[in-house]
Structure 1
Amino acid sequence: MIRDIGLTYGEVQEATADWRSTTPAQMLQLRHIKNMLTPLKGVSREIASADPLRQEIELWISLIPQLP
């Protein structure tokens, strides 16, 4: 699912810094990303804490509060 976002973590993180001044299309894209990430909150708890996948998911989940 993370691969389906189409942007890197860094690109999304950068976009969150000033999403209020972006175009409506960009805001919609960021909202779509938030909607994709939210269900992963429950999934990450089911993956072993040492697993790199869990670490990647948790990194992405950390962006949720910053997204529109």
Structure 2
Amino acid sequence: MSLTIDVDLPADLARFRLPSAVASRLQSLLDRQDAGSVLTADERAEAEGLVDLADLLTLLRLRAERARS
């Protein structure tokens, strides 16, 4: 089964990025983890969700760029 979603593409593809405050929060969590700190279960879930969101936005941006080519 496949699913098709119609999306109006914004003129500014940079909008398909995490807002700076959200990206900073994700980077902070990842930096703490890389430094050897153990994240709480809630922090791990937050980081995983933000990574998933960043991946989705990247995919949308790349698809939008391809559609415009």
Report the TM-score when normalising by structure 2.
0.47
Q: Bigger relative contact order, structure 1 or 2, given CA contacts below 8 A and separation 6+?
A: 2
In our comparison, the structure showing a higher alpha carbon Rg is 2
